[in-house]
Amino acid sequence: MPRTPVFLTAPRSSVLATLLLSSACGLFGDDDDDETGDPTQNNLDQYEQLRLALEQKREQVLPPVADDLAAAGPYLAWLDRTNAITAVLHTVHYPGGDDVVSEVPIGNAETEPFYVISETIGMTAHVEGPNSIYTVFRLDTGSMLDQITRTKPQAADYDAYGVFGDQAYIVADDEQLEVYEWTPGTDTPTSIGSLGAIAADLGVFIGFVVAEDMAGTRRLVAIGNAATYSVDLATMIPTRLPLPVQVFEGAINEHGIAVIDGTDLWWLEWDAAEARAIHDELAASPYVLNSTFAMAHLVSSGTASQDLAIDGTVLYYRSTTGVYGYDVASHAVTPVLLDNRTYDGSGVFVTYTSLNYSDAGLFVVGLESTNGATGVDGPVYRIQL
């Protein structure tokens, strides 16, 4: 089943942008045994032991030049923004694939670079005069597969677009949110229905993401600044999702949709009557790293990058101290990586963010700094879970 594991809302215009595996106790214990006579120091030592143990599963795969990560299926994609006008898209197939440089430029002088990928194809859009140009490309070769020209919408640089499996989608702002679907390289965009009936409830339409549930129902999740809807693409029947926050950053798969917002993390199974407050479940969890780091596993997003990823029923999220996993089925809390807070005397602080999960593993960026503030750049790591 194709998957779209993570998503961020696209910067289609300045207006829209502003709206926009067991517990560590099993590894080291959670008590404060007074081995040195200083419980706090013992807890710091325990933190360092766990951090170093977890880093044994960490492999650096890219230097700090990589930006805007995306992962799906066997692929990791990223942008090289060295050129101030256009970005260059790279993809790597795991295991053992070469670095493929796409022939399709991402962004231009009029358009902020942005792209999306599925397990086989990617898509981007840019402005040329009065038109928006949508380009679909292959991930294995980087070559252009299809290109569509449409009149630029009035309130954005381009209409919202997305990919799922080998199909592409566009939702047209100026056509009552008409939904177009096609198989790039095989046919042309065809209208399959409209979101016009829910346009008023959505408020300002921000974007969408496509996923399939366990029953194989393909859903378009329409995101607005006032509401979020799931639309069955076979029947075009909309269902308002009972999410208590506006969706800017999330993770989605066959089990449901997760949304992260600051210190809040919400989980909604498909067709459930209400969303679960995962942040409350974490706070009530018996998991404790130790008394000094009692809140190590609690949610703390807001790095301006992707702080949430999903694999099956496990949510990987940015915590107060690093990256943790939470299984929404079993309620298991698992540390994945802990930030380097320089207790080792290295002088280099590392903060993990930009979470992306695919068949190749969990990818993260380790932002580095020397003054304790969150860094602005750092290498990309792969964690095989």
Average pLDDT over residues 97-123: 96
How far is it, in rounded angstroms, from Cα 47 to Cα 51?
Answer: 6
What are 373-377's contacts with CB under 8 Å, separation 24+?
373/349, 374/303, 375/349, 375/350, 375/351, 377/64
H or E element, residue 149: strand 144-151
Structure tokens, 214: 């366990």
- So where are the chain's domains? 6-383
Cα–Cα distance list, 213 to 108, 208, 269 (Å): 36, 16, 9
Summarised one tens digit per residue, pLDDT across range 247-297 is 989 999 999 999 999 999 999 999 999 999 999 999 999 999 999 999 999
Q: Is the pLDDT of residue 31 over 60?
A: no
DSSP category for residue 225: S
What is the CATH code for 6-383?
Answer: 2.130.10.10
Q: What band does 46 get if pLDDT is binned at 50, 70 and 90?
A: very high
Q: Is the pLDDT of residue 357 over 60?
A: yes
